[in-house]
Amino acid sequence: MGKFWGMIKNLSLALTIGVVVGVVSVIFNLVIEGGVELSKNMLLGTDDFYFILPLLGATMTIGIYGLYLKDDHTGLGIVQVLVELEQIKTHLMLPFRVFIRVVSAVVTLIFGFSAGRFGPIVHLGAAVGSNVGYLFKLSSTHVRLLIGCGAAAAIAAVFKMPLFAAVFVLEVLYKKQFANYFAPVVLSAVVANLLGNYIQGPMPDFDFAYKQGIALNDLMVYVIFGLIMGIVGILYILSINHFTELFGKFKSIYVRLVIGGLIVSGLGYFFPLNFELHENTTLRILSGEFGIGVLITIGLIKLLATGITLGSGYVGGNFYPGITIGAGLGMAFGKIIEPAGENQLFGVLGMGALISSYLNAPIAGIVWILEYSRHFDWMIPALIVCSLSVSVTYHLLGKDIFSKSYESTMKQLK
């Protein structure tokens, strides 16, 4: 009977976290989208709009660091959630610290820097879950459960993909320890997803073209594509790590922020698409709006700009830039091998393949492809490209996108 009531308690907590985090996450998302529109409307008539925008963001970020983050460079995102899950009761989830970093992430996203909202959203949801646990003096086991529920709820509310949210938390945050956490995490994700759909509407419904069945001669194409995306995943990880080391040679965070802001301003001035929110760019990619040259350029610029943005110290996530890179290069690959063919298939496969590669999370990558496209006919291609991309990254690099930052954060806490 004790186990039964324990399960009821866990599910009740999960339901509560799903509602609270769902509302908080939707507000965060609306602030970003509203802020982007506001900044564009204010500066769109200015000739140097694309150069001025990141410099304004750099100025605001420098101010935030100067006032609140002088001695705290632990960051905001999935790495910090992983550390909290292991250590419990670190300062990484303190409400004021999280709030200031969320504000800094909003500035990064609104003012044209190449970072994603996924990492900040995960941290925000996990922080709500953990602080509820600390408030009611729950055990470490229950706090870990609420951290996962909060993270899953945040993802599901904003990205409208509850199955992916649950699988991501179980595979990446809990490192595949499924049994104890499965039902509460799924419940939080589903509740938050329903709230997100109710407040903001459902995810855009693409009419994806797709084949019935997979021909044998297609298999080699998927194999080649999976291997290529594994290499792209390695380049993405190395880009972020390299620029973090490069900017780390400057002792002053303010110098790093200024240099990073100037470079991103220059990139945006010559390639304005870099300033668009990644989700919007991804939807435009999948709609077939761009040719091969632009698609490849999007992938390469995002690869470079995200490394510079995060490496120079701006607060943001690395998840959705990777999604956009995968979609762009995937669509380009599809157009090259079959100009009149089903390019959207390779766009979505590219997204899942990169998730598998840089997160070391092939199950999450496969689920992303199926839930995003809503076509289970793509199961075989998804299995091939995701398994091969993660294998390439694992065997050639031996680490995921969080490994280096995780080690650095753990050292800062000692």
pLDDT digits (tens, 9 = 90+) for 53-78: 888 888 999 898 888 877 666 677 88
- Same domain (yes/no): 184, 331: no
Assess if residue 207 is contained within a domain: no
- Same domain (yes/no): 368, 241: yes
- Same domain (yes/no): 8, 97: yes
- Same domain (yes/no): 245, 195: no
- Per-residue confidence (pLDDT) for residue 411, from 0 to 100: 72
- Same domain (yes/no): 249, 195: no
Assess if residue 266 is contained within a domain: yes
- Same domain (yes/no): 167, 316: no
Q: How far is CA 77 from CA 13, 238, 315, 406, in A?
A: 23, 18, 9, 11
Rounded CA gap, 208 and 344, in Å?
A: 7
- Per-residue confidence (pLDDT) for residue 186, from 0 to 100: 64
- Same domain (yes/no): 112, 222: no
If pLDDT is split at 50, 70 and 90, which confidence band does 174 have? confident
Q: Which residue has the higher pLDDT, 22 or 91?
A: 22
Lowest mean pLDDT among 177-191, 238-252, 315-329: 177-191
Boundary of a domain, candidates 175, 200, 225: 200
Nearest to 389 by CA among 354, 364, 359, 347: 354
Residues present in the chain in total: 414
- Per-residue confidence (pLDDT) for residue 183, from 0 to 100: 63
| Share of the chain residues as helix, strand and coil, in percent rounded to the nearest 5 | 80, 0, 20
Sign of CA dihedral 31, 39, 281, 117: negative
- Domain total for the chain? 2
* Alpha carbon 338 to chain centroid, angstroms: 30
Sign of CA dihedral 63, 68, 71, 75: negative
Nearest to 129 by CA among 19, 32, 3: 19
- Same domain (yes/no): 6, 96: yes
Nearest to 315 by CA among 123, 40, 87, 45: 123
Across residues 223-242, what is the average pLDDT? 94
Q: State pLDDT tens for residues 330-363.
A: 999 999 988 766 678 999 999 999 999 998 888 8
- Same domain (yes/no): 230, 323: yes
- Same domain (yes/no): 10, 115: yes
Assess if residue 208 is contained within a domain: no
Is pTM beyond 0.75? Reply is yes
CATH number of the structural domain spanning residue 159: 1.10.3080.10
Assess if residue 353 is contained within a domain: yes
| Greatest C-alpha distance within the chain | 70
- Same domain (yes/no): 41, 138: yes
User: Is the pLDDT assigned to residue 219 strictly greater than 90?
Assistant: no
> Which tokens belong to 206?
């693409």
- Per-residue confidence (pLDDT) for residue 188, from 0 to 100: 77
- Same domain (yes/no): 238, 380: yes
| Structural domain harbouring 358 | 216-413
Give the CA count within 13 Å in the CB-facing half-sphere of 149: 31
Assess if residue 355 is contained within a domain: yes
Q: In the chain, pLDDT over 90 holds for what percent of residues? A: 28
